[in-house]
Amino acid sequence: MGTLTRAVGQAHARLDGPDKVRGAARYSVEYPVENVAYAWPVPSTVVKGRITRVDTRAALAEPGVLAVLSYENAPRLTPAGDPELFVLQEPAVAYRGQIVALAVAGSLEAAREAAGLVRLEYDTWPHDTVLTENHPGLYQPSHVNPSLPTDTEIGNFDAGYAAAPVRVDATYRTPAEHNNPMEPHASTVQWQGDRLVVHDANQGPGQVQAGLATLFGLPPERVRVITEHVGGGFGCKTMRCCVVLAALAARHVDRPVRLALTRQQMFGVVGYRTPTIQRIRLGADPTGRLTASCHDAISQSSMLKEFAEQTAVYGRPLYAAPHRRTTHRLARLDVPSPAWMRAPGQCPGSFAVESAMDELAVTCGVDPVELRIRNEPATDPEEGTPYSSRNLVACLREGAHRFGWADRDRTPAVRRAGRCLLGTGVAGSIYPARSLVSSASAYAGPDGAFLVQINAVDIGTGARTALWQIAADELGVPPDRVMIRVGDTGLPEASLAGGSTGTASWGWAVAKVCREIRVQIDDVHGGSVPAGGVHAQVDTTADIQAQQTFSRYAFGAQFAEVRVDVDTGEVRVDRLLGVFAAGRIVNALTARSQLIGGMTMGMSMALLEEGLWDPRSGDWANHDLATYHVAGCADIEQIEAYWLDEDDPHLNPAGVKGIGEIGIVGTAAAITNAVYHATGVRVRDLPVRLDRLLGHRA
């Protein structure tokens, strides 16, 4: 076995790839189920109010319609923490788009038609839906997501800033952004006696199991959630109302029920990234060394629940400055509940901080790569703890080298190609590296095959393939002898797919259980698997509790080259290049996809994505992919992602930091910094949009 090539680090194609290409991979509403009925939600058309009458006569008269559910007749639920899951229980309406009724029919078309025929009457009240920096309702939440301090202060920012010879004070805005995975939220639900069997698109089957168990008053073991394939999540597929609605309908009509949200409905009920208003103040000496920094972030949440985006945490562990402050303020508005979206907090926060760093570089006349290097701290500037590893500077240097940054002329608005202005920009990038508790089991068969099982979920990232590679190496066998099963609550419990923790957390449990199997085979059974096979199950609670205190982060540097048409203001990205230091890279192929996927989404955020709010109707004005634009292939000429070999012993057995989110962090700022370099126009409100550059002709 000494000559075995390690599977970790190889570019293995995804195990689920061939099935997906052939259309054989089943998504949640594609499982054949006999006698299935279809449910179609009815969103509220008022913003703030109370249902006074539900008239279902016309809907029920439609051929094929089985039922219309509303708060009046839906099965009762037990609250499960998140008010967004407590659907069809009360007449109150907290935002427009909230689901207020559900039509169920024998066909999808009949359900859809019936949903449109449900007549609801409401009492309504005036609504307040627009976030402003001086909104009277702004308050200081007790903590920000997931459980971080709301405000921090080290030293004395006010004094430090007042004394600084160079200052930058700027306000940046990001609009509401919507996750929009390809596959919508979708569920097929069957009650089998008092057991609930659910095929559901989500980022945590265990979370959905627990949620349904509480809502329906069942012991968790009577709820089985199967999540074999998921067409993307980006944060919005933590548990949502879709599966609850399907389960309510299935119980009510006593038939299996399918429900897939439409794109339009998703804009209302699956969460979105809150708009942010961020003021950054930086104080520095004339060489660009920071003496004071302050990040004040404002965001919104709904009346239903507090969701406090952790926008200002981005800079806490990043650049050195003796005097520093961060604050978060929140306004609760009559709007849909915001939720997790790829790199929550870090992503919008990085736009503001990395833009301000660029503005400081311009003010000081210092190269922006060099400026960041000058502000490199020795230890975490807020926690005082050492970094488990920190390679921001290495990423910046490697990126600058690969990008050809060295002889960049800093003067803005002087490079032309035909009718276009050209520019380049850079931004730093940081994302926490965390591991969560998980368990896994493994079985070694006498035939030399191994089965590893964990209720992890592969939302299209390649997670199952990475775990399979880790397992093969730990078992010391070629990967084709290992089978991996994920995405089923019948398997050992694991953490959800979020916060870039998947491979770090699940990989830990998988590595541990495989080592355990190896020990049993080698030490207990003398090197060969007995006829009955060998079985083991582990969990990582104790290991994670025993972790030493470190600041654990992945770092990156992003470089962008843009072209701005002087006639139209159109911005096109000629090149994006990212270099990341994210621990060990398990699979070069899927890692590259994650990184360039994140960078593409960051570019999309910079140039295109914008939930257009209509204050009069209290609703999104755009709510489909024809009007909410995400970047396509034609939007980028060249995109490159590289990583540094990083061997960080303080992480987890797989040595990984997580790569799902770091790719989107900093990208938008790299692009707007490049737009500034191209045109001399500093865009502080995203997305850039051609009209924001038109009229600034060079």
**Which residues are catalytically annotated?**
661
Angle, alpha carbons 115-95-258 (nearest 5°): 35
Query: In Å, what is the CA distance from 309 to each residue of 141, 240, 298, 348?
Result: 10, 18, 9, 9
Coil/strand/helix, residue 649: coil
Output 334 or 382, the one with its CB closest to other proteins.
Answer: 334
Per-residue DSSP letters for 262-303? -HHHHHHHS--BPPEEEEEEEEE-TT--EEEEEEEEEEEEES
Asked if 635 interacts with other proteins (CB under 8 A), we say yes
- Interatomic CA distance for residues 91 and 130, integer angstroms: 24
Asked if 618 interacts with other proteins (CB under 8 A), we say no
| β-pair type (49-55, 92-93) | antiparallel
Q: How far is the CB of 566 from other proteins (least distance, A)?
A: 8
Asked if 687 interacts with other proteins (CB under 8 A), we say yes
Residue range at the interface with other proteins (CB under 8 A); choices 389-397, 510-518, 559-567, 665-673: 559-567
Asked if 45 interacts with other proteins (CB under 8 A), we say yes
Asked if 569 interacts with other proteins (CB under 8 A), we say yes
- Interatomic CA distance for residues 331 and 131, integer angstroms: 7
Q: Token pair for residue 27?
A: 């998504």
Asked if 334 interacts with other proteins (CB under 8 A), we say no
Identified binder of other proteins from the candidate list 72, 376, 480, 614, rule CB under 8 A: 614
Output 127 or 229, the one with its CB closest to other proteins.
Answer: 127
Asked if 112 interacts with other proteins (CB under 8 A), we say yes
Identified binder of other proteins from the candidate list 608, 644, 654, 669, rule CB under 8 A: 608
Q: Token pair for residue 555?
A: 């770092």
Q: How far is the CB of 228 from other proteins (least distance, A)?
A: 28
383-418 per-residue burial string, b: 16 or more CB within 10 A, e: under 16: eeeebbbbbbbbbbbbbbeebebeebeeebbeeeee
Per-residue binding string, other proteins, 55-94, x by CB under 8 A, is --------x-------------------------------
| β-pair type (186-192, 99-105) | unpaired
Output 182 or 612, the one with its CB closest to other proteins.
Answer: 612
Q: How far is the CB of 688 from other proteins (least distance, A)?
A: 8
Amino acid letter, residue 600? T
Asked if 106 interacts with other proteins (CB under 8 A), we say no
Identified binder of other proteins from the candidate list 21, 417, 634, 649, rule CB under 8 A: 634
Output 410 or 419, the one with its CB closest to other proteins.
Answer: 419
Residue range at the interface with other proteins (CB under 8 A); choices 212-220, 293-301, 462-470, 630-638: 630-638
Output 144 or 671, the one with its CB closest to other proteins.
Answer: 671
Asked if 616 interacts with other proteins (CB under 8 A), we say yes
Query: In Å, what is the CA distance from 466 to each residue of 249, 441, 608?
Result: 37, 16, 32
- Interatomic CA distance for residues 197 and 220, integer angstroms: 11
Identified binder of other proteins from the candidate list 36, 130, 253, 694, rule CB under 8 A: 694
Asked if 690 interacts with other proteins (CB under 8 A), we say yes
Tell me whether residue 695 is exposed, middle or buried, using C-beta atoms within 10 angstroms of its C-beta: 0 to 12, 13 to 18, 19 or more: exposed
Identified binder of other proteins from the candidate list 55, 72, 90, 109, rule CB under 8 A: 109
Q: Backbone phi, then psi, for 141, in 5-degree steps?
A: -65, 160
228-246 per-residue burial string, b: 16 or more CB within 10 A, e: under 16: bbbbbbbbbbbbbbbbbbb
Q: How far is the CB of 189 from other proteins (least distance, A)?
A: 23
Asked if 332 interacts with other proteins (CB under 8 A), we say no
Output 63 or 286, the one with its CB closest to other proteins.
Answer: 63
Asked if 621 interacts with other proteins (CB under 8 A), we say yes
Identified binder of other proteins from the candidate list 106, 622, 640, 685, rule CB under 8 A: 622
Asked if 116 interacts with other proteins (CB under 8 A), we say yes
- Interatomic CA distance for residues 193 and 551, integer angstroms: 49
Asked if 275 interacts with other proteins (CB under 8 A), we say no
Asked if 572 interacts with other proteins (CB under 8 A), we say yes
Identified binder of other proteins from the candidate list 16, 82, 84, 113, rule CB under 8 A: 113
Q: How far is the CB of 603 from other proteins (least distance, A)?
A: 11
Output 13 or 625, the one with its CB closest to other proteins.
Answer: 625
Long-range contact set of residues 624-628: C-beta below 8 Å, sequence gap at least 24: 624/263, 624/264, 625/180, 625/263, 628/178, 628/180, 628/267
Asked if 419 interacts with other proteins (CB under 8 A), we say yes
Structural contact between residues 303 and 332, judged by C-beta atoms closer than 8 angstroms: yes
Amino acid letter, residue 113? E
Q: How far is the CB of 236 from other proteins (least distance, A)?
A: 21
Query: 10 Å Cβ neighbour count for 55?
Result: 13
Output 611 or 653, the one with its CB closest to other proteins.
Answer: 611
Asked if 567 interacts with other proteins (CB under 8 A), we say yes
- Footprint of other proteins on residues 231-270 (CB under 8 A)? 264
Asked if 695 interacts with other proteins (CB under 8 A), we say yes
Asked if 691 interacts with other proteins (CB under 8 A), we say yes
Query: In Å, what is the CA distance from 459 to each residue of 20, 27, 29, 437?
Result: 13, 11, 15, 19
Q: Which residues sit opposite 537 in a β-bridge?
A: 441
Identified binder of other proteins from the candidate list 512, 623, 657, 677, rule CB under 8 A: 623
Q: Backbone phi, then psi, for 317, in 5-degree steps?
A: -100, 15
Identified binder of other proteins from the candidate list 632, 638, 645, 698, rule CB under 8 A: 632
Output 491 or 566, the one with its CB closest to other proteins.
Answer: 566
Identified binder of other proteins from the candidate list 376, 627, 638, 698, rule CB under 8 A: 627
Asked if 578 interacts with other proteins (CB under 8 A), we say no
Identified binder of other proteins from the candidate list 617, 640, 642, 685, rule CB under 8 A: 617
Q: 552 CB contacts (<8 Å, ≥6 apart)? A: 387, 388, 432, 433, 434, 648, 650, 651, 657
Closest CA to 157 of 290, 23, 329, 330: 290
Output 267 or 387, the one with its CB closest to other proteins.
Answer: 267
- Interatomic CA distance for residues 294 and 315, integer angstroms: 9
Q: In which element (H, E) is residue 579 found? A: strand 571-581
Q: What is the phi-psi region of residue 332: left when phi exceeds 0, alpha when psi lies from -120 to 50, beta otherwise?
A: beta
Per-residue DSSP letters for 312-329? GGTTTTTS--SEEEEEEE
Q: How far is the CB of 105 from other proteins (least distance, A)?
A: 11
Asked if 378 interacts with other proteins (CB under 8 A), we say no
Q: How far is the CB of 72 from other proteins (least distance, A)?
A: 22
Interhelix angle 588-607/346-364, rounded to 10 degrees, is 70
Identified binder of other proteins from the candidate list 631, 662, 669, 674, rule CB under 8 A: 631
Query: 10 Å Cβ neighbour count for 63?
Result: 10
Structural contact between residues 225 and 209, judged by C-beta atoms closer than 8 angstroms: yes
Output 25 or 694, the one with its CB closest to other proteins.
Answer: 694
- Interatomic CA distance for residues 673 and 663, integer angstroms: 17
Q: How far is the CB of 636 from other proteins (least distance, A)?
A: 9
Output 78 or 264, the one with its CB closest to other proteins.
Answer: 264
Structural contact between residues 331 and 131, judged by C-beta atoms closer than 8 angstroms: yes
Output 109 or 480, the one with its CB closest to other proteins.
Answer: 109
Per rule CB under 8 A, count of chain residues that contact other proteins: 41
Point out which residues bind other proteins (CB under 8 A): 45, 63, 109-110, 112-113, 116, 264, 419, 565-570, 572, 607-608, 612, 614, 616-617, 619, 621-624, 626-627, 629, 631-635, 687, 689-691, 694-695
